[in-house]
A and B are shown apart, each in its own frame.
Chain A
Amino acid sequence: MGLIYLDHLSGTPLHPRVKEAMIDCIQNVFGNPVSDHQVGQRAAALLEKARAQVAALINADPSEIVFESCGTESVNHAIKGVAIGLREKGRRIITTNIEHKSVLNSLRTLRLLDYQVTSLDVDQYGLVDPAQVEKAITPDTILVSVMLANNEIGTIEPVADIARICKKHKVIFHTDAVDAVGVIPVDVQELGVDLLSLAANQFYGPPGVGALYIRKGTPVWPLLDGGAQENKRRAGTENLFGIVGMGVAAEVAQEEMPERLPRITRLRDKLRDGLKARIPDIIINGHPTRCLPHLLSVSIKYIEGESLMLMLDEEGIEVATRSACASGSLRASHVLIATGLDFATAQGTLLFSLGRDTTEAEIDRVLEVMPPIVQTLREMSPLYKKAQ
C-alpha cells in the first residue's frame, strides 16, 4: 500500500479533469481578459465560463462571484471590505471564538483601526447559539461573520438561522465556507448569506485560487486597489490558469457529490467507531451529527499529537495535528479550548480528513496501525502512569 493521505483539509490533489483543463489552458491560452482583442477575449471567455461554473456550485448569479487568490484573501476582502464600506454606519463586528485565523487576524487588524469586536462562545460541540448572536447585535453593528463549518472539528453552524437574524436587523452576514463548499451542498439562497468565502483547493482544484460570493447590493470595498478587473471589486490580473481549474473543480464537485457524500461519510464513521472501539480514553471532537462528512478530530489522552503524527507518517499515514506544537507555538488549539477541552487533552489531537480516493482498505490499515502506536507512546508518557 502506498501513502495513505488523510489530510485533505490541508489541500486536495488536482482532479484529473481539473489537471487536464489547466494543462490545456497553459498550453493554448495566454493574454489578459481585459484586453479587447481576440487573444484577450478568448481568455475573458474562459474566465466567465469558470465564473458561471463556480456560481452554479453555490446557486449564485455569476455576477456575484469575485475571484480571489485564496480562501484567506476572500475572508479578508469580505471582513475588511465591509468594515471600510460601512465605516460611517458603525464600528462593531460580531464573530465567534472558533473562527479560522484569517477571520481572527483580519479582526485583529480592524481593532487597531478602532473597530470593536464581539466574539461569541460556543457550546461543547462548537455550536454557536443564534439567540446569542441576536443579543450581541447593537445599533452600530455592521457585520456578523460565522463560519459555515469549522475547520478543526467539522461542526456545521446554524448559518441560515443566523442569516435570518442578521437580515431582520439589517446587518451584513459573512460566512467562511472554505471547508464546506465542494464537500457538502452549499446554496447561498437557502442560507440567505450576503457574503461567502470559498477556496478551490478544498475540492480538487488548485491552490492559490479562491472566490468571494457577494450578494448583489452588498457594500464591499475592494481589498486590492488598482484596475477594473472583477467588475472593479478585486484589482489585479486574474490567475486565469488557476481560475479555469477552479471552474472545472466546481463542476466536478457538483457532479460527484451525490456519489461521494454517502461513501465518505460511511468511511469516516468506520474510522471514528473503529478508533473508539480500539483506543480507550479517546475523545471525538465536534458535533456527533451536524458535522462535515469527511472530517474526524480525535483527542487521545496522555499523549501528544505531534509524536503520534510522526509515528503514523513513518507508517505512510499522513494526518494533521492541531497540537500548536507543530506551528511553532505551544498554544493548544483555540477551537478545542473553546469547546471546553483541557490543555493537555487538546495537545493530543489528530485531525483526519478523507477524500474522494480514500478506500476502505486504507481505513482498515489505520485502524490496525494506530492503536499499538498510541500504546507505545502512552507507555512512554508520565501522564499515563498517573492515570492508572
Chain B
Amino acid sequence: MAYSEIVMDHFKNPRNVGEIPDADGVGEVGNPVCGDMMNVYIKVRDNVIEDVKFKTFGCGAAIAVSSMITTLAKGKTLEEAMKITNKDVAEALGGLPKNKLHCSNLGADALHAAIKNYLDRKAGKIPDLAKDREEHIKGGGAEGCYCPYCHKEALEEAPFCLFCGAEIPHEHDH
C-alpha cells in the first residue's frame, strides 16, 4: 500500500470536517461492519452547494476521499455536483491503491445521497433518516454470509466454506 502525496495531505489535513446542524441535506453511506462509514452534510442556496461538511469512520483513503469530495462539491450547482464521479475523486487524489478504490465510491455516493435527501425534502417527502441509520450501522448482510456452492451458512470472516472448502466471495469484500 502506498498513498499518493495528495491522499496523505488530505488525510493529514482533512478539509471540511464536521457537521452542519441545520443542513439542508444529509447523506449517510457505508457501515462500520465493512470498515467505512461516511456522512456528508450540505447547505444549499440558489441551487448551489454553499457549504459542505463530512464525518467519516474509516481508513486513510476513506478520510482523504471525504475531504476531496467536499472540496470538489463546494460552490458547485446541484447538477454539477451530481456529475462528480468516483473516478473524478480518485483522479483528483492522484490515484488510490487498487484495494482502496471502493473508498472513492463511498465518497461520491455520500455526496449524491445528500443531494437526493435535499431534493426529497424540498419535494415534501419526509426522509426516514433514523431508519436508514439503523440499517447502516447494522449492515445490510443481516441474513449473513453463506457458501454459494453448498449453500451452508458461513462465518463472516471465513475465507472458505467449512463444509465444502470453496472460497467464499463475501459481499463486503470487493
Chain A residues with a Cβ under 8 A of chain B: 97, 104-105, 108, 111-112, 117, 119, 302-304, 306-307, 310-311, 314, 323-326, 328-334, 337, 343-344, 347, 379-383, 385-386
| A104 contacts across to B, CB distance below 8 A | 159
Interface centre among A328, A330, A386 (most CB of B within 10 A): A330
Distance in Å from the Cβ of B24 to the closest Cβ of chain A? 18
Inter-chain CA distance A108–B164, complex, in Å, is 9
The 10 closest A-B pairs by CB, nearest first: A344-B32, A111-B165, A306-B59, A328-B99, A334-B157, A382-B55, A343-B33, A381-B57, A382-B39, A325-B59
CB-contact partner of B56 in A119, A325, A326, A380, under 8 A: A380
| Contact across chains for B165 and A108 when beta carbons are under 8 A apart | yes
CB-contact partner of B63 in A111, A323, A333, A380, under 8 A: A380
| B173 contacts across to A, CB distance below 8 A | 329-331
Inter-chain CA distance A386–B164, complex, in Å, is 41
| Contact across chains for B56 and A382 when beta carbons are under 8 A apart | yes
| A326 contacts across to B, CB distance below 8 A | 1, 59
Number of B residues with CB within 8 Å of any CB on chain A: 40
Inter-chain CA distance A112–B58, complex, in Å, is 36
Interface centre among B12, B35, B139 (most CB of A within 10 A): B35
Considering only CB atoms, which chain A residue lies closest to B31 in the complex? Answer: A344
Is B162 located at the chain interface by the 8 A CB criterion? Answer: yes
Considering only CB atoms, which chain B residue lies closest to A345 in the complex? Answer: B32
CB-contact partner of B11 in A303, A307, A343, under 8 A: A307
Is B17 located at the chain interface by the 8 A CB criterion? Answer: yes
Inter-chain CA distance A326–B1, complex, in Å, is 8
Distance in Å from the Cβ of B41 to the closest Cβ of chain A? 10
| Contact across chains for B19 and A303 when beta carbons are under 8 A apart | no
Given contacts A325-B59, A331-B156, A337-B156, 14 further A-B contacts (CB under 8 A): A303-B57, A304-B36, A304-B59, A325-B58, A330-B34, A330-B36, A330-B102, A331-B173, A343-B33, A344-B32, A347-B32, A380-B63, A381-B56, A382-B38
| Contact across chains for A337 and B12 when beta carbons are under 8 A apart | no
Is B95 located at the chain interface by the 8 A CB criterion? Answer: no
Interface centre among A117, A324, A382 (most CB of B within 10 A): A382
Inter-chain CA distance A304–B38, complex, in Å, is 12
CB-contact partner of A331 in B12, B39, B170, under 8 A: B170
Chain B residues with a Cβ under 8 A of chain A: 1, 11-12, 14, 17, 19, 28, 32-39, 55-60, 62-63, 99, 102, 133, 137, 139, 155-160, 162, 164-165, 170, 172-173
Distance in Å from the Cβ of B139 to the closest Cβ of chain A? 8
Inter-chain CA distance A16–B56, complex, in Å, is 45
Inter-chain CA distance A329–B102, complex, in Å, is 11
Inter-chain CA distance A111–B167, complex, in Å, is 12
Given contacts A326-B1, A337-B157, A343-B32, contact A112 B17 (CB under 8 A): no
Considering only CB atoms, which chain B residue lies closest to A332 in the complex? Answer: B157
Q: How many A-B residue pairs have CB under 8 A?
A: 98
Ordered by A's residue number, 11 sampled pairs between the chains whose C-beta atoms are within 8 Å are A97-B155, A304-B62, A306-B60, A307-B60, A323-B35, A332-B157, A334-B157, A343-B32, A344-B33, A382-B55, A383-B32
| A310 contacts across to B, CB distance below 8 A | 11, 60
Inter-chain CA distance A381–B62, complex, in Å, is 11
| Contact across chains for A382 and B60 when beta carbons are under 8 A apart | no
| B139 contacts across to A, CB distance below 8 A | 343
Inter-chain CA distance A314–B60, complex, in Å, is 12
Distance in Å from the Cβ of A291 to the closest Cβ of chain B? 22
Inter-chain CA distance A347–B58, complex, in Å, is 9
| Contact across chains for B165 and A331 when beta carbons are under 8 A apart | no
Distance in Å from the Cβ of A283 to the closest Cβ of chain B? 15
Inter-chain CA distance A334–B59, complex, in Å, is 19
CB-contact partner of B57 in A97, A119, A328, A383, under 8 A: A383
| Contact across chains for B32 and A330 when beta carbons are under 8 A apart | no
Distance in Å from the Cβ of B152 to the closest Cβ of chain A? 13
| A111 contacts across to B, CB distance below 8 A | 160, 164-165
Inter-chain CA distance A383–B139, complex, in Å, is 14
CB-contact partner of B37 in A119, A333, A379, A383, under 8 A: A383
Inter-chain CA distance A344–B160, complex, in Å, is 22
Inter-chain CA distance A80–B173, complex, in Å, is 29
| Contact across chains for A385 and B57 when beta carbons are under 8 A apart | no
Inter-chain CA distance A170–B170, complex, in Å, is 39
Considering only CB atoms, which chain A residue lies closest to B170 in the complex? Answer: A331
| A307 contacts across to B, CB distance below 8 A | 11, 58-60, 62-63
| B159 contacts across to A, CB distance below 8 A | 104-105, 108
Inter-chain CA distance A293–B37, complex, in Å, is 35
Inter-chain CA distance A192–B42, complex, in Å, is 65
| Contact across chains for B35 and A324 when beta carbons are under 8 A apart | yes
Considering only CB atoms, which chain A residue lies closest to B58 in the complex? Answer: A304
Inter-chain CA distance A128–B61, complex, in Å, is 37
Considering only CB atoms, which chain A residue lies closest to B67 in the complex? Answer: A380
| Contact across chains for A331 and B157 when beta carbons are under 8 A apart | yes
| B32 contacts across to A, CB distance below 8 A | 343-344, 347, 383
